[in-house]
Structure 1
């Protein structure tokens, strides 16, 4: 279990993390979301004792990280897939970690097999692709067989098979009763992996709730209906107390309604339906809705996007003349 209480980090006048309090519990995959600059990486670094909080407290299974003996046996983390000595082989990289934490050499072979790197175990890490580096970083996190695991953008560089593998691995670890905490910007993957969400924006806690509740609370759900008997269905639905929205395309949208109830009403009045489908927002849509006011870095695509680049600053005459766009 990871427990944060009033965790705060300031860099001069900049408040990167602002009074965060939440608990990451065992037995589920907890997703950690937030826009760029929200303070996710800083928070995870403070969890591991890599940054010292300005205020507040964070504990790993009831202890501060720097008080843990053989910390890899308590918590395994992947924060940066490039955090390895490129001149060492994959095997020796893991062996160094194992020896520093009292982990037997046999465990190195086990985790290399788990992440699919046995065939390249003796190759130097500097020659690894991004995806192979991610697998090696995950092997390092698993090395101590810890009860707590933290992953920051674990699917970076992985191919579809690798993404499917890490998704199932995290679910399997949680099913074993372990604490799994994962940060990612890939919303479609997070929606398939996480059971619970912690969302921050500008260093502040915005949500700490289940995946289903997060989407329900931050988006609109409705039932979409198409029928050739539109006016008649409108009268029936409004008579039953439903709030019906008419769209310009002839589609009806019913808020806070169940498709089963609507279908039964239509059948009772012998109304033909061409479509009756419940619509639910995606995790990405709900996330965008909640964090709209917390985005620090905004990109703008508009009329200027296709405009030519500004000319170079004035200077001495160039040999190709005044037309600065001319090819040399």
Structure 2
């Protein structure tokens, strides 16, 4: 388990992490989300002892990172895949880490095989593609067979097969009872992987809840109905005390009523339905709704076409004005 209590980090007048308190439990994949500049990477660095907190506490299975005798046996992390010695082979890179943490050498070929890098084990990582570098970073995180794993953007540079493999790996590790903490900006992938979410903005905790609860609490859910008799259906719903909103495409939208109840009402009155579909926002939409006020870096576009941009109100000027 990972436990943060009042964790704070300041760089001069800049507060990167602001009194964060939350726990990352074993047995589930916990997603760590936030806009750029929210403090996610700083929090992960603090967890691994790469930076020291200004205030607060952070513990790994009840201990500080610097109290762990062989830390790779407790927590494995991928923060920056390219942070490897370019002159060593992939095998020797992992071997050095294994020897420094009391891990037997036999574990090195095991994790290389696990991530699909056996064929390039003797090659130097400086020639690896981004995806291969990610795989080596994941091998490094798994080297000590730790009870806690932490990944920052683990699917960067991976092809669809690799992304599917990482997703399955994280879910498998959680199913084994391990603590899995993963940060990513790929909302579609996170929605398929994580069961629990921790969301921060400008260093502050904004949400610590299940995936389903997060989407429900930060988005509008409703049922869409289509029928060749929209006015009749609307009258039936009105009589039942159910408000329905007609939209421009001819459908009706109903909030706070189960789709099954609406279908039963339509059947009762022999109204044909062409569509009866519950609508729910995506994780991305819910995330954008919650964090809209805490985005630190805004990009701006202009409404004018190419001719206007060439006339001096172009992308460069629009970008400068938005900084």
Q: TM-score range by the shorter chain?
A: over 0.9
Q: Deviations over 1:273-320 (max 9, x none)?
A: 111111011000000000000000111112367412859xxxxxxxxx
Q: Which has the larger radius of gyration?
A: 1
Equivalent-residue separation in structure 2 for 1:12 and 1:135 (angstroms):
36
Q: Does 1:293 find its partner at 2:284? A: no
Name the residue aligned to 2:33: 33
Corresponding residue for residue 190 of structure 2: 190
State the match for 1:254 in structure 2: 254
1:51-91 deviation digits (Å, cap 9, x = unpaired): 10000000000000011000000000000011101111100
Distance 1:238-1:175 versus aligned 2 partners, 3 A rule: same
For 1:241, the equivalent position in structure 2 comes to 241
Structure 2 residue corresponding to 1:308, chosen from 291, 310, 320: 310
Q: Please state whether the residue corresponding to 1:105 is helix, strand or coil.
A: coil
**Residue in structure 2 matched with residue 317 of structure 1 by the alignment:** none
Aligned pair 1:146/2:146, yes or no?
A: yes
Q: Which residue of structure 1 aligns with residue 321 of structure 2?
A: none
TM-score normalised according to structure 1 size = 0.93
Q: What do residues 12-52 of structure 1 show as CA deviations (whole Å, max 9, x unaligned)?
A: 11111000000000000000000000000000000000010
Distance (whole Å) between structure 1 residues aligned to residue 8 and residue 187 of structure 2: 26
Write the distance in 1 (CA, Å) between the matches of 2:89 and 2:95: 10
Structure 2: gaps spanning 5 or more residues: 314-323
Q: Structure 1: which 5+ residue stretches go unaligned?
A: 312-328
Pairwise CA RMSD: 1.2
1:1-328 to structure 2, matched below 5 A, reads 1-303=1-303, 306=306, 307-308=309-310
Alignment match, 2:316: none
Distance between the aligned counterparts of 1:42 and 1:217, measured in 2? 27
What secondary structure does 2:197 align onto? Answer: strand
Q: Distance in 2 between matches of 1:76 and 1:248?
A: 53
The number of residues matched between the two structures is 311
- The 3-state SS of whatever aligns with 1:253 is strand
State the Cα distance separating 1:145 from its structure 2 match. Answer: 0.3
Tell me by how many angstroms 1:243 deviates. 2.5
TM-score when scaled to structure 2? Answer: 0.95
Q: Hey, what's the Cα distance between the residues in 2 that align with 1:34 and 1:171?
A: 21
Cα distance in 1, alignment partners of residues 21 and 223 from structure 2? 37
SS in structure 2 of the partner of residue 19 of structure 1: strand
Counterpart Cα distance in 1 of 2:263 and 2:303: 47
What residue is the counterpart of 2:320 in the other structure?
Answer: none
Q: Distance in 2 between matches of 1:78 and 1:309?
A: 46
- Paired with 1:226 and 1:96, the residues of 2 have a C-alpha distance of 64
